[in-house]
Structure 1
Amino acid sequence: MPMPRLPLVLRKLFRRRIVLGATIALAVMVAVSLLAGALSGFDPNETAVTKRLSAPSAAHVLGTDELGRDLFTRIAFGGRYSLTIALLTALGSVALGTLAGLLAGFFRRLDAPVMRVVDAMMSFPDILLAIALVGILGPSLLNVVLALVLVYTPRVARVVRASTLVVRELPFVEAARAVGVSSFRILWRHVLPNLMSPILVQASFIFAYAILAEAALSFLGIGVPPDIPTWGTMVAGSQQYAHQALWIVLFPGLAIILTALSLQLLGDGIRDLLDPRLRKSM
């Protein structure tokens, strides 16, 4: 069956205004983060004690924090770290989870041992498992990514396994086996392409989950070191001054909420588009 043309797919996806709005909001957040240096004339770590806790003004659009640093600049640069952590987490989780799910779903001998490990990991709440892993590995940007990858890999593995169990019984897979095609080639050429829909949906959701998880870990003081300006570390470091200057917590928090919500809505739109049962309603 030929793949739909990209313009037609995008037109169907953005037919729902809420999905279009979420995509635009996400694109703006990404653009602001990538163009942070050009959009702001301040250094994200430049302090000015005389301007500490300044309210939003023409000079400082979103105000300044407890050390007089420009808040817009820190949010823009912080987006680079927060989005990078979330992107690496999504890519790592999808890669490992897809591999584990394919092996468990296609090879019966591997199903039980792989899924027992997956079930054991999923028996712990995500945030508690992430806290434990970061506590063992130590607080750093790389260790936060590794911990979150391990936390979200089981989610992908279960979804991919379930889909693989269905695809492996389809006639074209049976025909490939009958003519002597190797298992690796069957997985790569026949099974994996038919799993891209649930994999893409899971990737978008994990992207959103990772942003919230990183913020939670940083807020608890066990995530990214405070000298790295992620949105989570900004909220964590400024919470004691919130009663004096609400904006230093409000704006980083809004960045987290807006980005995570946009990703969730976009993921819902992709799921509805790729699900044959929901496609007609779109």
Structure 2
Amino acid sequence: MAAVSAPAIEAGPGLLRQLLRRRTVMIGLVVLCAVALLALLAPWISPFSPSRLSIANRLKPPGPVYWFGTDEFGRDGFTRTLYAGRLSLLVGVSVVAFACVVGVTLGLVAGFFRRLDTPIARVIDAMMAFPDILLAIALVAALGPSLATVIVALGIVYAPRLARVVRASTLVIRELPYVEAARALGVPTWRILTRHVLRNLVSPILVQGTFIFAYAMLAEAGLSFLGVGVSPEVPTWGTMIAAGRQYVGQADWMTLFPGIAIVLSVLSLQLVGDGLRDLLDPRLRKDL
């Protein structure tokens, strides 16, 4: 008897072309790639060091030398905005990776094994009952403020979102004929989970990953703004906005440019995520 395999995911050049045909998705991709390139090339693009002090040039408005102005210590705003983007992107990618490992594992186990479904689902519901930022603050306060703890805390906060999506999809997939046939053939459970179940969860995981990326960047900025994130000496968009709130009346550029960077990054991720969701969901693709 031939081996049973899961149906292939509909993807390929045709799907990519449909995605790029949408103007909003194209704008999101262009903005996201531009932000990522500027952040990655910060050491070669930025004219100054992010920690360079120049008290004589403190609170200088934007001009030909200091494009984004300077802060209260005379540090170049453009340079610090670029370097802050590197940290925000690093946090976003790390949180998505952490949340995927934890959330996908919990969702698969809860959806495939009936005995473990109720206790895991209750834990997921309990974690999602807390507001994201409050739970993140509590975890960071318990673990101690640092970049690693921010990533772990945000990963724990957003893992339940992914776990619920994976669990709901797994509950449907495990009842499909090809999974039952694989069980009847004696296929090992781990092989069914990886080859027949997880293979068909790539689309929702990918879509949720883009949204979690955006949420993580916003949450990191919020934690840094509240002073419970990374060290204040490390340039992040949140710490820059927190430092600039004291000078809003006389140096509004200190909060303006980091705020614009956050808005552009999060909005571009949301646009890409919406486009992926519309194209990867068969029910939504019929309306396109």
**Alignment partner for residue 81 of structure 2, among 52, 71, 75?**
75
Q: Is 1:175–2:190 an aligned residue pair?
A: no
In structure 2, relative to structure 1, the CA distance for the partners of 1:251 and 1:160 (3 Å cut) is same
- Residue by residue over 1:114-160, the C-alpha shift from the partner in whole angstroms, topping out at 9 and shown as x without a partner, is 11111111111111111111111111110111110110011111110
- 8 Å contact 1:226–1:237 — kept in the other structure? no
- Residue by residue over 1:226-261, the C-alpha shift from the partner in whole angstroms, topping out at 9 and shown as x without a partner, is 011111111112210121111110000111111011
TM-score normalised by L of structure 2: 0.95
- For the residues of structure 2 that align with 1:262 and 1:83, how far apart are their CA atoms? 13
- 8 Å contact 1:163–1:195 — kept in the other structure? yes
- 8 Å contact 2:140–2:229 — kept in the other structure? yes
Q: Is 1:10–2:16 an aligned residue pair?
A: yes
- 8 Å contact 2:244–2:251 — kept in the other structure? no
- For the residues of structure 2 that align with 1:64 and 1:28, how far apart are their CA atoms? 23
Aligned residue type for 1:269: G
In structure 1, stretches of 5+ residues that fail to align are: none
- Residue by residue over 1:35-86, the C-alpha shift from the partner in whole angstroms, topping out at 9 and shown as x without a partner, is 0011122101101111111111111111111111111110111111111011
- For the residues of structure 1 that align with 2:177 and 2:94, how far apart are their CA atoms? 36
TM-score normalised by L of structure 1: 0.97
- For the residues of structure 1 that align with 2:109 and 2:85, how far apart are their CA atoms? 36
**Alignment partner for residue 276 of structure 2, among 248, 267, 270?**
270
- 8 Å contact 1:94–1:153 — kept in the other structure? yes
- For the residues of structure 2 that align with 1:269 and 1:211, how far apart are their CA atoms? 20
- For the residues of structure 1 that align with 2:205 and 2:28, how far apart are their CA atoms? 20
Root mean square deviation, CA, Å: 1.1
Displacement of 1:8 in angstroms is: 2.1
Displacement of 1:7 in angstroms is: 3.1
Q: Is 1:110–2:122 an aligned residue pair?
A: no
Displacement of 1:5 in angstroms is: 6.0
Identical counterparts, % of pairs: 59
**Residue aligning to 1:186:** 192
- 8 Å contact 1:32–1:76 — kept in the other structure? yes
Displacement of 1:3 in angstroms is: 5.3
**Residue aligning to 1:24:** 30
**Alignment partner for residue 280 of structure 1, among 271, 277, 286?**
286
- For the residues of structure 2 that align with 1:136 and 1:2, how far apart are their CA atoms? 44
In structure 2, stretches of 5+ residues that fail to align are: 1-6
Aligned residue type for 1:171: P
- For the residues of structure 2 that align with 1:48 and 1:247, how far apart are their CA atoms? 17
Aligned residue type for 2:136: A
- 1:207-246 to 2 correspondence within 5 Å? 207-246=213-252
Number of residue pairs matched by the alignment: 282
**Alignment partner for residue 142 of structure 1, among 137, 148, 169?**
148
Q: Is 1:251–2:257 an aligned residue pair?
A: yes
- 8 Å contact 2:136–2:157 — kept in the other structure? yes
